[in-house]
Amino acid sequence: MRLFNTMTKEVEDFVPFFEGNVSMYCCGPTVYDSTHLGHLRKYTMDDVLRRTLQFMGYKVKHVMNITDVGHLTDDADMGEDKLEKGARRSGKTVWEVAEYYTQIFHESMQAMNVLPPHIECKATDHIPDMIALIKELERKGYTYTTEQAVYFDVTKFARYTELSGQKLADKKTAVRDEVVEDPQKKHPADFSLWFKRVGRFADHTMHWPSPWGDGFPGWHIECSAMSMRYLGPHIDIHTGGIDHIPVHHTNEIAQSEAATDKHPFVKYWVHHNFLHVEGEKMSKSLGNFITIDDIKRKGFHPMALRLLFLQTHYRQQMNFTWSALAGVQKTYEKLNTILSKATPTYHDAQNISRIFHEALADDLNTPRALAEIFALLDEGKYNHVSAALDILGITTESKPEEPIPEHIVRLAQERAQAKKTKDFARADELRERIEQQGYRIQDASDHRFRLVKKT
């Protein structure tokens, strides 16, 4: 197996710390909003990596966090806590927001046939681990405390910019013009380990006692503390989006290596590229914020989406288009029909083809692996095709879910509009009509909703 390592900027031979075993930490979702297409792609590709490693005979331990506190709207300690923002927007408590969006995340992963991590850890369940880690960093002289927070002093950690390749001086210039939220902060790149419940966070809902006062942890310390707890000081593979390189993962390295004196904290850094929709960045204001429910509502099968994801290499930026999905859906339906009678065996999986194996072993070249699958299909080697799709996590036996009928969607949209204009009587009446026809509405934030068929 060969993998591109962001640390060295090279495709390297994969050699784990312990032969035959792989520890894999994947940065998980911040559960304050719906799981969208970008997330679906990221976790699907994590899953393909895990399945590929397992197929190659490695014993994988896969850990993923759920961030339910401390992730601010700006990764570099600015703005407000995303969970608090989600609560304010939806009128729910932060705990309800976390639970609601964690559930949506789980449902989305299930639909995409993403294997659940062996350990899924919530930040709020690991506050003592984080406090212990901050205390260790403090003892070693890597921190300083202001009236507002406890910071990691980046100038004390010589390898701070190793992953990003940026110069610390550049970081200083880049943020010079931004609003300084804490005048006692020494260097703009210093990042918060612990936020005190004072000033802009005086009303912060989630808070815990600590040696530095009542407060809550920073986002970065969560991943260092939880990865250390479940995987130890050395991790073979750590994944995340490329946006995590300059701040989140850079900070994780600093915290973990400073605390344990072990280097490297991570052997292979794997980063996923962005996803655009119809050529544009996905955002709520553009109305192109697509969820798994949107995919299903339009009658597409999540496995067709998975197939579409695999057509782009994980390090390439992907441009999602509805027409491309429609094309892949046709292919998927064809596969479903052809493969319904295939009964692959272990032997088939081991002998799919040299090209297929080599493609996956070559930094997870899924586009080439898929091309080989279609070549095998043309040759009529259906058992091999079935086994290959299985390795990539594409199931063919399941029938696509029935799409929600248009008139039900329209009623739900009308209801959302009624709620917006505070016509609650009308909203209730529309909800009843929808329920009478066998569907249920679940309200999300921003007047978004989900429709599910009653069972």
Q: What track of x and - describes contact with Zn ion for positions 219 through 248 (by CB under 5 A)?
A: ----x-------------------------
Nearer to Zn ion, 127 or 223 (CB): 223
Q: What is the dihedral of CA 59, 273, 40, 415, to 10 degrees?
A: 160
Nearer to Zn ion, 25 or 55 (CB): 25
Nearer to Zn ion, 223 or 359 (CB): 223
Compute the Cα dihedral for 65, 67, 70, 74 and give only its sign.
Answer: positive
In the complex, the smallest distance separating the C-beta of residue 276 from Zn ion, rounded to whole angstroms, is: 23
Nearer to Zn ion, 227 or 312 (CB): 227
In the complex, the smallest distance separating the C-beta of residue 101 from Zn ion, rounded to whole angstroms, is: 17
Give the binding range for Zn ion (CB under 5 A) out of 19-27, 174-182, 188-196, 271-279.
19-27
Q: What is the end-to-end Cα distance of the chain in Å, rounded?
A: 45
In the complex, the smallest distance separating the C-beta of residue 252 from Zn ion, rounded to whole angstroms, is: 6
Distance CA 245, CA 273 (A): 11
Distance CA 104, CA 112 (A): 12
Nearest Cα residue to 6 out of 329, 325, 238: 238
The SS3 call for residue 344 is coil
Distance CA 311, CA 307 (A): 7
Question: CA 363, 366, 372 angle in degrees (round to 5)?
Answer: 120
In the complex, the smallest distance separating the C-beta of residue 38 from Zn ion, rounded to whole angstroms, is: 16
Give the binding range for Zn ion (CB under 5 A) out of 26-34, 187-195, 396-404, 432-440.
26-34
Touching Zn ion, residues 154-213 (CB under 5 A): none
Give the binding range for Zn ion (CB under 5 A) out of 2-10, 23-31, 46-54, 388-396.
23-31
Touching Zn ion, residues 276-335 (CB under 5 A): none
40 lies in the site for Zn ion, by CB under 5 A: no
Nearer to Zn ion, 223 or 295 (CB): 223
In the complex, the smallest distance separating the C-beta of residue 273 from Zn ion, rounded to whole angstroms, is: 17
Nearer to Zn ion, 222 or 372 (CB): 222
- Per the DSSP assignment, residues forming a β-bridge with 216 are 195
Q: Is the peptide bond before 128 cis (omega within 30 degrees of 0)?
A: no
In the complex, the smallest distance separating the C-beta of residue 120 from Zn ion, rounded to whole angstroms, is: 13
Strand bridging mode 149-152 / 78-81: unpaired
Give the binding range for Zn ion (CB under 5 A) out of 22-30, 263-271, 307-315, 385-393.
22-30
Touching Zn ion, residues 367-396 (CB under 5 A): none
CA atoms within 13 A on the CB side of 312: 23
Task: Please report, for residues 413, 426, 439, 443, the alpha-carbon distance to residue 434 in angstroms, rounded to integers and kept in the order given.
Answer: 11, 12, 6, 14
Nearer to Zn ion, 27 or 111 (CB): 27
Q: What track of x and - describes contact with Zn ion for positions 97 through 136 (by CB under 5 A)?
A: ----------------------------------------
Distance CA 318, CA 314 (A): 8
- Tokens linked to 377: 């299909």
Query: Which amino acid, 398?
Result: S
Nearer to Zn ion, 27 or 193 (CB): 27
- Tokens linked to 326: 């429609």
In the complex, the smallest distance separating the C-beta of residue 248 from Zn ion, rounded to whole angstroms, is: 6
Q: Binding-site residue total for Zn ion (CB under 5 A)?
A: 2
27 lies in the site for Zn ion, by CB under 5 A: yes
**No. of H helices and E strands in the chain?**
16, 18
Nearer to Zn ion, 27 or 352 (CB): 27
In the complex, the smallest distance separating the C-beta of residue 259 from Zn ion, rounded to whole angstroms, is: 16
CA atoms within 13 A on the CB side of 393: 29
In the complex, the smallest distance separating the C-beta of residue 27 from Zn ion, rounded to whole angstroms, is: 3
Distance CA 102, CA 123 (A): 12
Nearer to Zn ion, 90 or 256 (CB): 256
Nearer to Zn ion, 223 or 253 (CB): 223
In the complex, the smallest distance separating the C-beta of residue 265 from Zn ion, rounded to whole angstroms, is: 12
> How much is the CA Rg of the chain, to the nearest whole Å?
24
Give the binding range for Zn ion (CB under 5 A) out of 20-28, 147-155, 409-417, 435-443.
20-28
Task: Please report, for residues 27, 82, 200, 380, 383, the alpha-carbon distance to residue 328 in angstroms, rounded to integers and kept in the order given.
Answer: 29, 35, 49, 20, 21
Residues that bind Zn ion (CB under 5 A): 27, 223
